Amino acid sequence: MSPVVVPPTPFTVLALYQFRRVPDPAALRAELLALGQASGLCGTLIVAAEGINGTVAGSRAAIDGLSDFLRTAGFDRLEAKTSHSNERPFKRFKVRLKAEIVTLGLPVEPTSQAGQYVEAGDWNALIADPDVVVVDTRNRYEVSAGTFEGAVNPEIDSFREFPDWLDAHAEQLAGKRVAMYCTGGIRCEKSTSLLRERGFTDVLHLRGGILKYLEDVPEEDSRWHGECFVFDGRVTVGHGLREGGALMCHSCGWPLGVDERAHPAYEEGVSCPNCVEATTDAQKAAFRDRQRMYDKINS
């Protein structure tokens, strides 16, 4: 009689954030670190005086335990999305103290001044309106994996560059309805607050971000093209939050689809079309040594 094969239990992945005043961020960090280590969580949480943000993974029981703890700690309006990964998506568990839970570099008031939320089911109709300017607030490497049709790509390398992009394009946006989106919604809490602070009045953003859209909107009705970059070992996800087909370049961090992996500049663990000219021969040699060690460990 053949032995029964028990499939591996997938990791539950939880992406969360909430802007809420934290009186003692260091104390909250200590409690979260102890809880995460005791329950076997992996991933990263960011704690600041303005709230909490992060993506973690673990057993269903561990994720439920974290969620219960945060509710009792006063985070009763968490923007939270769960998905699954068949493999451990993070190497370790970290809780970091920072000045901001998502770094814009300018003071804004997301708890009182953010733009109007648009639910995932209403997003298609909004972005189909020719009078609406749709802005992707993510970094350029994230946009390379997928985006909404017709969206403006600011071509930024970090969210801190967004205010400068806005200054340079304020005239083009003046008098328009501006709809913004990001991966899970947190960056839009600040970007829409910034627009409203600068005098824009008709500002909207996708509640729950791309992840909520891909979870709720059927693929046959979707206006999303490509996959969504996520900050864990899955690299990208698609509709239904199924794990995507991209791999990450371990030299520059860009998500690579099939075409990029077929490019002559692609060498696993060493280079891709996006970074092959940016690293020296010595750096490439070091990357090859690293890749050989990785292959040996995992062979």
Q: Which residues are catalytic?
A: 182
Rounded Cα–Cα distance for residues 147 and 202 (Å): 22
Q: How far is CA 165 from CA 69, 154, 171, in A?
A: 39, 7, 11
CA 189 to chain centre: 14
* DSSP per-residue codes, 244-268: -S-EE-TTT--EE-HHHHTSTT-BT
Taking only Cα atoms into account, the Rg of the chain, rounded to an integer number of angstroms, comes to 20
Beta-strand ranges (E) seen in 20-170 are 42-48, 51-58, 79-85, 93-97, 116-118, 132-136, 146-148
Rounded Cα–Cα distance for residues 123 and 43 (Å): 30
Number of Cβ within a 10 Å radius of residue 56: 27
**Per-residue exposure over 216-251, b if at least 16 CB sit within 10 Å of its own CB, e if not:** ebeeeebebebbbbbbbbbbbbbbebebbebbbbeb
SS3 at position 16? strand
Contact 238, 275 (CB under 8 A): no
Rounded Cα–Cα distance for residues 210 and 129 (Å): 19
| Beta bridge pairs of residue 204 | 116, 179
- The C-alpha angle 46, 216, 108, rounded to 5 degrees, equals 35
Find all residues with CB under 8 Å of 247, minimum gap 6, and list them: 235, 255, 256, 261
